[in-house]
Chains A and B, each alone.
Chain A
């Protein structure tokens, strides 16, 4: 009722006020008294009646607009995605990365869990060792024909003699320090080790070396 009293007396202002209430009337938000004032004005005022009809037409047309249907094909990629990601999405998604890694490690067998890092360390050590011992850029084989040709037969013979002396010395040294435990040498003579290595490599299988590898 209060709003009815506030209604301006000027016709133009009245029309403005009524037209502001069109949406409220269409939505059913006006009170009974407000509806009465609204409708009586619309019946008397052709401008407001036209405006009201226009608003009602638009409102009806909007309400009649259909709900669009979403085709199944639109969501096929979504279904594929959700199916593919099902496993990670269920349990692991919310866990921190560290716990995921720990779970993964625990699922691996122990021999692989410890053996693989050890093997990796060994390989790295071998690679590093090779790089240290061999000069950078020397990719030629150690027994390259050019390098052998640089030494005379006398030089080679002298080197072999020195090598035999060294091996003999090391052999005697190891025999002095050898210790028997059961049937095995804890420190075996170096000559035996060298011969065993050559036998293992398939060199001179039927003629094991007695005085050294050379």
Chain B
């Protein structure tokens, strides 16, 4: 049993941690979620349908993330501060990577700011590449609900004003470079 448990951990640990990390954006919280998930796996080992282990683990992770999000709310200001610092560091890290890193950092912040289940579905589908069926099992939703929530989640991401602003800045910089290019030659 211990060997099987170890095998399950090895197989799913990165996916669980990654899901928690993109959902919470705080490494320590993501580690806590990962630990909680695998402790629950140990506690419920004999009751679980092991053919649906991946879905069960993701569901536990999803619920655990929701709990952590509720706990995080009072500290929201700090989280936003961290995100700002990350963005600033990314912008200061170099001219070539300035926009790309800033954009990705803002993108992660935008993903985290999504409400559930939009956030979980976007992470599961677009970052983790899970199938609609897997997401259905994890979140106990119908296929049509998963699709609708995924599209709404993506649209909400696009409605993020800071993200759009960064994108437009990038576009205008590129067009400036294009315009400056021929005159410089």
Q: Hey, which chain A residues are within 8 Å of B2, CB to CB?
A: 82-83, 86
A82, B17: Cβ atoms closer than 8 Å:
no
* Interface contact tally, CB-CB below 8 A: 90
Pick the most buried of B9, B39, B126: most chain A CB atoms within 10 A of its CB. Answer: B126
Total chain B interface residues with beta-carbon distance under 8 A: 40
Chain A residues within 8 Å of chain B by Cβ, number: 32
CA distance A93 to B107 in the complex (A): 46
Q: Is the interface of B mostly helix, strand, loop or mixed?
A: helix
The answer to whether residues A62 and B17 also contact, given A23-B154, A77-B35 and a CB cut-off of 8 A, is no
Interface set, chain B 158-182, CB cutoff 8 A to A: 158, 163-164, 167
Bound-state Cα–Cα, A78 to B31, Å: 12
Contact across chains for B46 and A58 when beta carbons are under 8 A apart: no
Query: Interface 1/0s, chain B 120-149, versus A by CB < 8 A?
Result: 001000111000000000000000000000
Kindly list 18 other residue pairs between chains A and B, CB separation below 8 angstroms, not including A62-B107, A74-B34, A82-B5.
Answer: A23-B154, A54-B158, A55-B158, A61-B103, A62-B126, A65-B22, A67-B18, A67-B127, A68-B21, A68-B22, A69-B17, A70-B16, A75-B13, A78-B9, A78-B35, A82-B2, A86-B2, A89-B1
12 CB contacts below 8 A, A to B, read A23-B151, A54-B158, A57-B167, A58-B107, A62-B122, A63-B127, A67-B127, A74-B35, A75-B35, A78-B9, A82-B5, A86-B1
